[in-house]
Amino acid sequence: MSTNRLFIFGYGYTARVLVERLRAQGGWTFAGTTRSPEKCDEMERAGVDPVNWENGVSDAALDGATHLLVSTPPNEAGCPALENARNAVVRRRSAVNWIGYLSTNGVYGDYGGAWVDEESELRGASTRAKRRITAEEAWRTLAANAALPLVIFRLPGIYGPGRSAIESIRAGSAKRIHKASQVFSRMHVDDIAAALNASMEKPGAGDLFNLADDEPAPPQDVVAYACDLLNVAPPPLVAIEDANLSDMAKSFYADNKRVSNQRMKDTLGVALKYPSFREGLRAILDEEGSGAN
């Protein structure tokens, strides 16, 4: 059986879940970048070959790579993966079947709660959103010039085991912040991995997808539901003006939109395991009860 190899720029939460999914299918090997010695040990235990990219990523590091996943957030200098590995990626382009770039739906900016899809104008005004827009364009330019099979995914808020309202409630850090008509889109990490996997299996199906579940929802409702599951009293509802938010948190609340996942469903055939935060949060607790990892 032929073996695919996934090379990951920035081995993080979503990448780890995707690796677990692909490993279960068989026929895959993995490598990924890190700057942390501690993360190297974690990656090796997960069967992912760690690559220290302090001095760039060489052609040799990409040997055998058939798929590339880019999950490094851009900084003031641009996308770190692009800056470190541009030449290596181009030189290996004949061997690469798929490049997935993980962006954010923050590029759409504020739509006053209206729905956005992949054709919507990019109104992102924050520094983070502008950097993402620039990084998307840089990857598109490289892909067009070098005939690279690039697919951009605009992700929502990501949650899952170890990273959800359940953990924040237990830690005592959960807040129920109210801003009139505010909603956010989110998606369980398992469904994100499934969407990425579907694109890898259909690399020519499309070059841009919004990823989100079916139900954009007010953040305070998610916290309240998690409290119900845990059988604890919810924290008090606090008006956003009184919430003492950081500048970064305020910037998230400045954008209000509902993100359509219709193209993902129609083109990639993704059937969501967790169509809303309710199914997702219940599953996290069920996994804890069963002792699943």
Report yes or no on 226 lying in a domain. Answer: no
pTM: 0.95
Report yes or no on 233 lying in a domain. Answer: no
79-103: pLDDT as tens digits = 999 988 999 999 998 999 999 999 9
Report yes or no on 112 lying in a domain. Answer: yes
134-192: pLDDT as tens digits = 999 999 999 999 999 999 999 999 999 999 999 999 999 999 999 999 999 999 999 99
Whole-number pLDDT of residue 4:
96
**What percent of the chain is modeled with pLDDT above 90?**
84
Domain that holds residue 89: 4-160+186-213+257-274
> What Rg, from alpha-carbon coordinates, does the chain have?
19
Q: Residue 263 contacts by C-beta under 8 Å, 6 or more apart in sequence?
A: 117, 118, 206, 209, 210
243-278: pLDDT as tens digits = 888 888 888 899 999 999 999 999 999 999 999 999
For residue 279, which phi and psi values (nearest 5 degrees)? Answer: -60, -40
CA distances from residue 204 to 67, 199, 267 in whole angstroms, order as listed: 13, 8, 10
Angle (CA) 115 155 4, round 5°? 135
Report yes or no on 73 lying in a domain. Answer: yes
Report yes or no on 245 lying in a domain. Answer: no
Report yes or no on 224 lying in a domain. Answer: no
Whole-number pLDDT of residue 60:
86
Report yes or no on 27 lying in a domain. Answer: yes
pLDDT band at residue 35, thresholds of 50, 70 and 90? confident
Angle (CA) 200 206 209, round 5°? 85
Whole-number pLDDT of residue 129:
96
pLDDT surpasses 70 at 30: yes
Distance CA 17, CA 205 (A): 23
> What is the average pLDDT across 29-54?
89
**Residue 11 · residue 33 · CB < 8 Å:** yes
Whole-number pLDDT of residue 226:
97
**Residue 109 · residue 129 · CB < 8 Å:** yes
Q: What is the CATH number of the domain that holds 191?
A: 3.40.50.720
Whole-number pLDDT of residue 250:
84
Least confident of 46-50, 192-196, 233-237, 247-251: 247-251
Whole-number pLDDT of residue 290:
62
Report yes or no on 201 lying in a domain. Answer: yes
**What percent of the chain is modeled with pLDDT above 70?**
97
pLDDT band at residue 55, thresholds of 50, 70 and 90? low
pLDDT band at residue 2, thresholds of 50, 70 and 90? low
- Domain total in the chain: 1
